């Protein structure tokens, strides 16, 4: 049985979820959301991190080997959220998004 990564996934994805909410709110306040695709990619990251949070929370509530599929799904979805944030950051850094 692999180690229990569920608490780490929940903690980190919740933190990154909060960061995404701050970015999205900042874009709305600055009225920049209609000129960029940053808000769409941030919204996608929010969906992915929220899904990872829910799956990791449900995994923590289950006992034994029944929690492994939920933990694995949360792990994969968390990684997808990281990739979305990385790609968004790279597009902003290299001025691909205008």
In a domain, 3, yes or no: no
At 54-72, the pLDDT tens digits run 999 998 888 778 788 989 9
In a domain, 20, yes or no: yes
In a domain, 43, yes or no: yes
**SS3 of residue 2 by DSSP:** coil
In a domain, 63, yes or no: yes
Q: How far apart are the first and last CA of the chain?
A: 47
In a domain, 7, yes or no: no
Are 36 and 97 in contact by the 8 Å Cβ rule? The answer is: yes
How many domains, the chain?
Answer: 1
At 10-55, the pLDDT tens digits run 899 999 999 999 988 887 888 776 667 888 899 999 999 999 999 9
In a domain, 73, yes or no: yes
Per-residue model confidence (pLDDT) at position 17: 92
Range of the domain at 70: 12-93
Provide the 8-state DSSP code for 41: H
């Amino acid at each position: 049985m692999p180690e229990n990564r569920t608490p780490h996934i929940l903690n980190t994805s919740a933190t990154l979820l909060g960061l995404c909410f701050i970015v999205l709110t900042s874009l709305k306040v600055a009225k920049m959301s209609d000129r960029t695709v940053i808000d769409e990619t941030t919204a996608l990251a929010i969906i992915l991190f929220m899904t990872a949070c829910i799956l990791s929370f449900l995994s923590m509530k289950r006992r034994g080997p029944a929690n492994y599929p939920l933990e694995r799904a949360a792990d994969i979805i968390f990684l997808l959220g990281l990739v979305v944030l990385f790609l968004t950051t790279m597009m902003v850094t290299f001025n691909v998004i205008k």
